[in-house]
Structure 1
Amino acid sequence: MDLIIVTGSSKGLGFSICKRLLESNYMVVGIARTKSEEFLNLQKAYPKELFYKEYDFNNTANIQLLVREITKEYGNIYGLINNAALGYDGILGTMHESQISELIRVNIEAPIILTKYVSRSMIMKFRGRIINIGSIIGNTGFNGLSVYGATKASMQGFTRSLARELGKANITVNTIAPGYMQTAMTSKLQGQKLESIKRRSPLGHLVTVDDVAGSVLFLLSDDAKNITGTIITVDAGSVS
């Protein structure tokens, strides 16, 4: 049973990814700052397949130790899903420098360092899959999300270059860039604001976290063994 690490695993997209992986017979280590009730319930349903590590990626100094613990406890790592990220909404001119630093640290530095140490386990076995969760905002931009957009765009560059580095070790590296997703947060949107978002999509609706999780499953599968260095957009056609 292949081992997959999923960061930001307690809720939203990360939780959906964990659930779909378990249903597809993967073993999963979820990493998050806190364990949600829904994650706890999922653990009860999959006690031998789903595990949890509490970690705050503001702390980049101990990432190597985290990976060492996971490898020692659960074995070699086949897949890494870099999903954890922060997204402060604010105009750059009024954003505090500490928030800018935190976004860069959590959204760029932490996943790069995590990938550095996880990829060592993959190189030893000459197999592995690395999937970075990006955002269409990395390409399109969005008012009030300039720093967040910069971090997501940088991960696309990281993906393309790392794919070239690790290809000779039979490791693929890709990014999934979701659009506006149907979540508990967006369910609060009503009226013209929600309709304007839907109108951007040729399909006339928002994507779901399960849609994006399905793309993760595809990139982990044998069908995607020759896909690497690619940005896969899942947004119901909003940026087409």
Structure 2
Amino acid sequence: MSDLVVITGTSGGLGRALAREAVANGYRVLGIARRSVEEADIGDGYAHLCADLSDIDAIPRLARQVLAEHGAPYGLVNNAAAGLDGLLPTMHNSQIRAVLDLDLLSPIMLTKYLCRPMLSVGRGRVITVSSIVARTGFRGLSVYAAAKAGLEGFTRSLARDLGRRGVTVNAVAPGFLDTDMTTVLGDAGMARVQRRSPLDRFATTEEVAAAVTYLLSPAAAGVTGTTLTVDAGSTA
């Protein structure tokens, strides 16, 4: 039986690309998202589980369900996120909490429970989707940037915790992608971002997915504790 990879946020544009690429490379994929996904839209080997990852207290139960119904994962790709656009002084406290719960706390908690079987067998991959905004900043995305920067620190430290047990931990930091999450920038904002790229374009979801699949592969066995940037050169 092929290795199982759990990917969160597969109802969004990047998540679908991650799932399709992983299935195309021979992995069994379990997608987790709040919205349903047609399994045939991803490909053979894909299964879907509807769950609200912002419900932190439900994550231990969710992890038990994953293990009971699908078996121990070889890989976990923490992709689910929300990029709420707003200036901090005018954001409601509940909005700040919602972003931090989904973007930072839920990946940490899901990793806690799903890396345990990886440690038991002495092999595994944990990959977190960050963002270049963690390092560059962007107007109106201070809370989102804080969450992503936290994930990169989490990645580096967790790599040291798990490495001796055969589990690698890495992050991929996409630039701005032409997905539903970036529509809040508007056409003018997207055009400004695109002009920063030496390639005069955005990175694609398929390019980000290829980077994640590389980190899942045996070829990346010696890569851990790092963040791989896929942004068409905009931060060069």
Query: Which range, TM-score by smaller chain?
Result: over 0.9
- Structure 2, unpaired ranges of 5+: none
Aligned to 2:100: 104
Contact residue 163 and residue 172 of structure 1 kept, 8 A:
yes
Task: Report whether the alignment pairs 1:170 with 2:171.
Answer: no
Aligned to 2:25: 24
Matches of 1:25 and 1:164, distance apart in 2: 29
Contact residue 11 and residue 35 of structure 2 kept, 8 A:
yes
For residues 100-124 of structure 1, give each alpha carbon's deviation from its aligned partner in whole angstroms, at most 9, with x where no partner exists: 1111111111110100000101001
Contact residue 183 and residue 208 of structure 1 kept, 8 A:
no
Matches of 2:27 and 2:117, distance apart in 1: 17
Contact residue 7 and residue 76 of structure 2 kept, 8 A:
yes
C-alpha RMSD of the superposition:
1.6
Tell me the secondary structure at the aligned position of residue 53 of structure 1: strand
Matches of 1:195 and 1:9, distance apart in 2: 27
Matches of 2:200 and 2:104, distance apart in 1: 32
What letter is aligned with 1:18?
A: A
Contact residue 175 and residue 232 of structure 1 kept, 8 A:
yes
Matches of 1:58 and 1:169, distance apart in 2: 29
Q: How does 1:49-88 map to 2 (within 5 A)?
A: 49-88=45-84
What letter is aligned with 2:88?
A: L
Matches of 2:172 and 2:181, distance apart in 1: 21
Aligned to 1:9: 10
For residues 27-80 of structure 1, give each alpha carbon's deviation from its aligned partner in whole angstroms, at most 9, with x where no partner exists: 0100000114xx34326x41xx11111110121112111111111112121000
2:157 is aligned, of 142, 147, 161, to 161
Matches of 1:108 and 1:51, distance apart in 2: 25
- Cα 1:186–1:64 change in 2 (3 A) is closer
Q: Aligned-pair distance for 1:184?
A: 5.6
1:205 is aligned, of 193, 197, 201, to 201
Matches of 1:10 and 1:199, distance apart in 2: 29
Task: Report whether the alignment pairs 1:41 with 2:30.
Answer: no
What letter is aligned with 1:64?
A: P
- Structure 1, unpaired ranges of 5+: none
- Cα 1:132–1:168 change in 2 (3 A) is same
TM-score relative to the length of structure 2: 0.94
Task: Report whether the alignment pairs 1:230 with 2:226.
Answer: yes
Q: Aligned-pair distance for 1:185?
A: 6.5
Tell me the secondary structure at the aligned position of residue 6 of structure 1: strand
TM-score relative to the length of structure 1: 0.93
| Structure 1 runs (4+) greater than 6 angstroms displaced | none
Q: Give the share of equivalent positions with the same residue, in percent.
A: 44
What letter is aligned with 2:7?
A: V
What letter is aligned with 1:86?
A: A
Q: Aligned-pair distance for 1:183?
A: 2.9
Q: Aligned-pair distance for 1:155?
A: 0.3
Q: Which moved more, 1:123-132 or 1:197-206?
A: 197-206
Matches of 2:75 and 2:94, distance apart in 1: 32
Aligned residue-pair number: 234
Aligned to 2:144: 148
Tell me the secondary structure at the aligned position of residue 169 of structure 2: strand
